[in-house]
Amino acid sequence: MKSYETFQVAEEHQGLTVEYYLKNILGYSGRKIQKLTRLKGILLNKKTVFLKKKVRAGDQLKVLILQDQSYGVVPEAGFVQILFEDSEIVVVNKPAHMLVHPAGQTGHGTLANYLAHYFQQKGQVLTIRPLHRLDRDTTGCVVFAKKASIQSALEQQLKDGLFKRIYWALVPGRLEHPSGEIDLPLGPDALKANRRAVREQGLKAVTHYRTLETLVRPENSMEISLLELRLITGRTHQIRVHLAHIGHPLLGDRMYGKPSPLISRQALHARTVTFVHPTSGQEISVHAPWPEDFQQIIINLGY
């Protein structure tokens, strides 16, 4: 039985062609639109329609749901901690030392491989569509879309600033200002490959931070601050570079700081993601639990 997604044309989109509406408002690719046309899978007010037809406010556009044919990655058995799931979205808690998706020479053992196996065990064939990435050693929330249209809608929220991310971080020392904004443009590091740096001609990057607590070990005066960070933009290594630039690199960050005996990775955790569900319109907030290595640091400091 054929299934359709239904969209109602808003007043602001009146006069657009069906093709433009599908491509630029709903985010469908040209190839997918061609396939839908061949299958007569585009209906305007319940009738097959030409792509050049102009839509009017209040029109009902129905688009055939094309079933995924593959996972896009090789399914592999592995533990996946599901934080939120419905028929269109799944949010997973990524562990440390793992890529979100195959990249470079790493084609196996990623979160995407394990999630594909999770779907496979449920008898579902769903292309793995990560909405965003985390560094290999960063833990926490990663959002995956189960449908291309949901992915497009959430990507638009990312562009519009409606998709919000909160991180927890541990840094050495006590910040001079307990809270503030870091507004420094970022670009490729001119001296070291695969690194980012504050560059005058770089892309705008804004991070908000506040100190949740500063932990002190009296016998050696060691101070470690727990920060909450909100990304206003989402540049590569943004938090890592911004904090290093103000003199408080992430604890254990070998690339922008230095190794730490307290943790085997950079101490960064994607604590919360908040977005508007594209179908229901409800605001969804998902939280990843406190990582074990963060807990161990607190114990080591005697708290």
DSSP state of 21: I
- The single residue listed with the structure tokens 């269109």 is 88
Residue 205 buriedness (CB in 10 A; 0-12 / 13-18 / 19+): buried
Hey, what are 278's tokens?
A: 């594209």
Structure tokens at 57: 């406010």
d(CA 185, CA 80): 35
CA dist 32 and 15 (Å) reads 22
How far from chain centre, in Å, is Cα 234?
9
Q: Are 100 and 111 in contact (CB under 8 A)?
A: yes
In angstroms, the Cα distances linking 145 to 84, 101, 130, 138, 152 are: 12, 14, 7, 20, 9
As a whole number of angstroms, the distance between CA 161 and CA 23 comes to 21
DSSP structural state of residue 136: T
Active site residue 135: yes
Q: Choosing from 59, 135, 137, 253, which is the catalytic residue?
A: 135
Output the six-digit token pair for 2. Answer: 């054929």
**30 CA to centre of own chain:** 25
Check residue 106 and report its DSSP letter: B
Catalytically active residues are: 135
